[in-house]
Structure 1
Amino acid sequence: MSVMDAFRLNDRVALVTGGGSGIGLAFARAMAEAGADVAVVDWNEEAARKAAEQLAGETGRKVIALRADVSKEEDADRMVQETVRQLGGLDVCFANAGIGDEGALVTEYSKEDWDRVIAVNLTGVFLTDRAAARVMVERKRGSIINTASIYGLVGDFGMGAIGYTAAKGGVVQLTRTLAVQLAPMGIRVNAIAPAFIRTNLGEGKLREDVPDPELRKVHEEITRRTPIGRWGRPEDLAGIGVFLASDASAFCTGYIYAVDGGWLAV
Structure 2
Amino acid sequence: MERDDVPAANGVLEAFSLDGDGVLVTGGASGIGTAYAEACAEAGADVILADIDAEGAESVAADLADATGADVRAIACDVTDEDDVRAAVDATVDAFGGLDVAFANAGIGRMFNPVHSQSLEHWREVMDVNLDGVFLTTREAAAAMKEDSSAAGDGREGSGGRIVTTASVLGLVGTETPGLSAYVASKGGVVQFTKQAAVELGPDIRVNAIAPGWIHTGIGGGMLREDAPGMEPIQDQMRQETALGRLGYPEDLKGLALFLASPASAYCTGAVYLNDGGYTAT
How far off its partner does 1:180 sit? 0.6
Q: Where does residue 58 of structure 2 map in the other structure?
A: 49
Partner deviation per Cα, 1:51-98 (whole Å, 9 max, x = no partner) = 110111001111110110001111111110111112211000000000
Letter of the 2:218 partner, please give it.
N
Partner deviation per Cα, 1:17-39 (whole Å, 9 max, x = no partner) = 00001000000011000000000
Question: 1:48-127 counterparts in 2 under 5 A?
Answer: 48-127=57-136
Q: Where does residue 252 of structure 1 map in the other structure?
A: 268
* Shift in CA distance, 41/112, structure 1 to aligned 2, threshold 3 Å: same
How far off its partner does 1:239 sit? 0.2
* Shift in CA distance, 55/217, structure 1 to aligned 2, threshold 3 Å: same
Question: 1:1-266 counterparts in 2 under 5 A?
Answer: 1=9, 2-140=11-149, 141-184=160-203, 186-201=204-219, 204-207=222-225, 209-212=227-230, 215-266=231-282
Aligned-residue sequence identity (percent) comes to: 51
1:107 is paired with a residue whose SS is: helix
Q: Unaligned 5+ residue runs, structure 2? A: 1-8, 150-159
How far off its partner does 1:205 sit? 2.5
Q: In the aligned structure 1, how far is the partner of 2:225 from the partner of 2:263?
A: 37
Give the TM-score normalised by structure 1.
Answer: 0.96
* Shift in CA distance, 12/160, structure 1 to aligned 2, threshold 3 Å: same
Partner deviation per Cα, 1:120-162 (whole Å, 9 max, x = no partner) = 0000000000000001112331000000001111112423211
Give the TM-score normalised by structure 2.
Answer: 0.90
Query: Which 4+ runs in 1 deviate beyond 6 A?
Result: none
Over aligned residue pairs, what C-alpha RMSD do you find? Answer: 1.3
Letter of the 1:147 partner, please give it.
T
* Shift in CA distance, 209/85, structure 1 to aligned 2, threshold 3 Å: closer
Letter of the 2:103 partner, please give it.
F
Task: Report how many residues are paired.
Answer: 263
Q: Where does residue 156 of structure 2 map in the other structure?
A: none
Q: Unaligned 5+ residue runs, structure 1? A: none
Q: In the aligned structure 1, how far is the partner of 2:226 from the partner of 2:91?
A: 40
2:219 is paired with a residue whose SS is: coil
Partner deviation per Cα, 1:179-236 (whole Å, 9 max, x = no partner) = 011113x100000000010000168235565443xx4321110111111000010000
Letter of the 1:241 partner, please give it.
A
How far off its partner does 1:103 sit? 3.1
Q: In the aligned structure 1, how far is the partner of 2:114 from the partner of 2:133?
A: 25
Letter of the 1:190 partner, please give it.
N
* Shift in CA distance, 169/47, structure 1 to aligned 2, threshold 3 Å: same
Letter of the 2:214 partner, please give it.
F
